[in-house]
Amino acid sequence: MPFQWIDPEILTEYRGIRIYHTYKDDDFEQPSEFWYKAENGEDSEFDVRDLPAADGVTAWSWSSGDVKVLVSTGRDTHLRIIKAAIDREIDPFARLLESEETDGDSTDGG
Question: Count of CB atoms within 10 A of residue 12's CB?
Answer: 15
Distances (CA, A) of 101 to 8, 45, 49, 64, 67: 25, 21, 27, 42, 37
Q: Is the whole model's pTM more than 0.95, yes or no?
A: no
Mean pLDDT within 18-42: 80
Please say if the pLDDT value at position 12 is more than 80: yes
pLDDT, tens digit (0-9, with 9 covering 90-100), for 53-102: 777 665 555 554 555 555 556 788 889 889 999 998 887 787 777 766 65
Give pLDDT, residue 94.
79
Assign 33 a pLDDT band (cuts: 50, 70, 90): confident
Domain boundaries, the chain: 10-99
CB-based burial of residue 69 (10 Å sphere; 0-12 exposed, 13-18 middle, 19+ buried)?
exposed
Mean pLDDT within 23-33: 78
Give pLDDT, residue 108.
45
Please say if the pLDDT value at position 40 is more than 80: no
Assign 44 a pLDDT band (cuts: 50, 70, 90): confident
Closest CA to 31 of 48, 53, 16, 15: 48
Name the amino acid, one letter, at 95: R
